[in-house]
Structures are given as C-alpha cells and as structure tokens.
Amino acid sequence: MYSFKNDYSEGAHPRILQALLATNLEQGEGYGNDPYTLEAIALLKERLHCQAADIHLLSGGTQTNLTALAAFLRPHEAAIAAHTGHILVHETGAIEATGHKIIAVDSADGKLRAADIAKVVALHSDEHMVKPRLVYISNPTEIGTIYTKSELAELSRYCRAKQLFLYLDGARLGSALCADGNDLTLPDLAQLTDSFYIGGTKGGALLGEALVIVNNELKRDFRFHLKQRGALLAKGRLLGIQFRELFRDELYFDLARHANRMAQLLQDALSSAGHRFLVDSPSNQLFPILPDALIEKLEKNYAFYRWEKIDERHSAIRLVTSWATKEEEVLGFIAALKEA
C-alpha cells in the first residue's frame, strides 16, 4: 500500500536529519535565541528582501494560524475566508475558540477576490455585527489553485484601502512558488501581505513553519503571544536548524519542484486517460474525477482521500505528492490506473 494522502507522511529530508544529529550535543540558548535560529531568520530576511520583517518559527500550521490571528485581532473583530479555507474547515474551530468569528465566502476555485470581500464589508456595517478585520487566504489554496501576482496585488490594494489585514497561509507555499504559471516571489509576498508563513512541515522538514510579520502594527509583543499559546519552544533550535538547512541554498525549492513534477506525471496520465478534474491545479494536489468502480480497484493498493461525491457513479479523489514521492510509485499508480 502506497499513500498519496498527504505530503507529510514521510519524516524529513536526510540533510536535515544529518544537521540535527551533527549539532545534537551542542549547547545553546533556548526559545529561538540560539545561533542556528538567528542564522535561519537572517537567511529568510535575505530571501524576502525585507530586513524589517519579524520572523518567528512555530511547530505547525494550525498553531501558527491561531496564534497569529488571535494576536492580530481585537475581541470584536473577525476573519474573512473562502468556504474551503483551512481555518474554517480543518482546524477544529481553533480560531473560533480564541473568540473570533470566521466569515465564510463561497468560492469556486478556493480563491478570494476584492469583490467577494466588498460584499462582506458592506453587510457588516455597525456595532451589532462582528467587524471584518483580516482576510485569510492560502497559497496554494486547499484545492490546489494558486494566486497570480495581479490577483494578490488587487487583494492587497483593496485590503489597504479598507484597513483590512491580509494574511496568507503558506503551508504548501513552496509548491505554489514553483508551480507552472506562478509569477509570485517571496519578496512579492513581503510587499503585498501584512503577514504570511512559509510551511516547512509539508516542505521537507520534520516540523515547523516560519511566520513572517511585515506590518509594524502586528509585531508588538508577539513573543508574549507565542509563549501564552504554547508556541515558544524551549528547544527552538530544532526549528532553526531545519530552516537554516532548507534556505541556506535551494533545497526548499528543489524539494517543492520535485513534488510538483510528480504531480504533473499523474496529471498527464489522468488527462490522457480522459479523466476530468474538479479544479485545475498546478500544484502538488490533484483532484481527478473517477468512476467509483475504478476508485475501489485503486484503493486495493493505494491510499488517498475520497474528496467529493460528483454523481451516483463518480467521485473526486485527492492525490498529493511530496518532496519524497518516488517516481517509481507514481509510475506504478499510472500502470494500475491503465490496468483497472
């Protein structure tokens, strides 16, 4: 049984494990003040072309989202998200548990646009309703689509005009930045958002996300929020070493490019076999629509999620490739698809 369920089934890239082992018995300061974390943050600032950014390393995506949004929002303020947004669907009400409402917006492709947000802002007009204050987006989205630079710039202009914070969830950011058709860069994100994070857990690290705060209004006392939410690790070096290894050269992007190439192999084979897709995804997540009978045959040797029922005989499944996906396993799936 080989799994295409997610991109965190494997451990970590061997180079990261070697770096952790090589530094294992060294002593260093705790809580992210060790030299490896400081070096990782310096490398990230260089990549962002933004020395003024505050960067904090946290253990996981849900922890990053709830810590950031709870810190950024006042008690009566709310976040806006697509109805597919991770904070809305797959985080067990973590944001709501901090006392902040999430306002859902329907989206066919998982992306938000200024017109969508304008409707929400117009509706929430007085103190009898929550106040929309933050726009939450993901790149790639939860269904694999990516934002273009013009789309993100339009969102950014609208948010700044309406005094809304723009926050980008980058759990799979490497895949988005390396996808065919992408024209966004890390410096673009630092210019166009108020805050975003660079995902390590799904990008070759054992765990870890790098939260980037650009807006000065959001930086104040953030380490206090980290500590209060249990996100300030005593052994912060474990995160710092990993991000230093990912960003001291092109490793982070090389791993993302590999995941995308494996997904492209699957996409080409599925398209050639005449299968449709729920959405056009250039990232490492694919959502092919297959006959249920075919899905049952494939499930004998491969693990994946049944994503959405399409009709009485067809369903969309989700296939996810990772930095560690072996090409022979992809070719094996393609062979099984043809045989079935």
Q: For residue 241, give the CATH number of its domain.
A: 3.40.640.10
Structure confidence at residue 136 (pLDDT): 98
Residue span of the structural domain in which 209 resides: 14-247
Structure confidence at residue 114 (pLDDT): 97
Tens-digit pLDDT profile for residues 129-177: 999 999 999 999 999 999 999 999 999 999 999 999 999 999 999 999 9
Model confidence at 1, pLDDT cuts 50, 70, 90, reads very high
Q: List phi, psi (to 5°) of 200.
A: -105, -35
Give yes or no: residues 184 and 320 share one domain.
no
Average pLDDT over residues 298-314: 97
Cβ contact 111:280 at 8 Å? no
Tens-digit pLDDT profile for residues 87-108: 999 999 999 999 999 999 999 9
Residues of the chain above pLDDT 90, percent = 100
Give yes or no: residues 310 and 219 share one domain.
no
User: CA 146, 151, 153, 154 torsion: positive or negative?
Assistant: negative
The angle subtended at Cα 78 by Cα 108 and Cα 118, nearest 5°, is 50
Structure confidence at residue 30 (pLDDT): 97
Tens-digit pLDDT profile for residues 257-267: 999 999 999 99
Locate tokens 């998200």: which residue? 81
Number of domains observed in the structure of the chain: 2
Model confidence at 212, pLDDT cuts 50, 70, 90, reads very high
Give yes or no: residues 182 and 331 share one domain.
no
| Alpha carbon distance 251, 241 (integer Å) | 13
Structure confidence at residue 3 (pLDDT): 98
Q: Is the preceding omega at residue 291 within 30 degrees of 0, hence cis?
A: no
Structure confidence at residue 304 (pLDDT): 98
Average pLDDT over residues 298-307: 97
Give yes or no: residues 268 and 237 share one domain.
no
Structure confidence at residue 217 (pLDDT): 97
The angle subtended at Cα 196 by Cα 164 and Cα 61, nearest 5°, is 115
Structure confidence at residue 163 (pLDDT): 98
Question: What are the residues whose beta carbons fall under 8 Å from the beta carbon of 93, sequence distance 6 or more?
Answer: none
Give yes or no: residues 211 and 256 share one domain.
no
| Alpha carbon distance 79, 85 (integer Å) | 11
Q: How many CA atoms lie within 13 A of 195 on its CB side?
A: 27
| Alpha carbon distance 108, 37 (integer Å) | 40
CB atoms within 10 A of CB 100: 23
Cβ contact 321:259 at 8 Å? yes
Structure confidence at residue 220 (pLDDT): 97
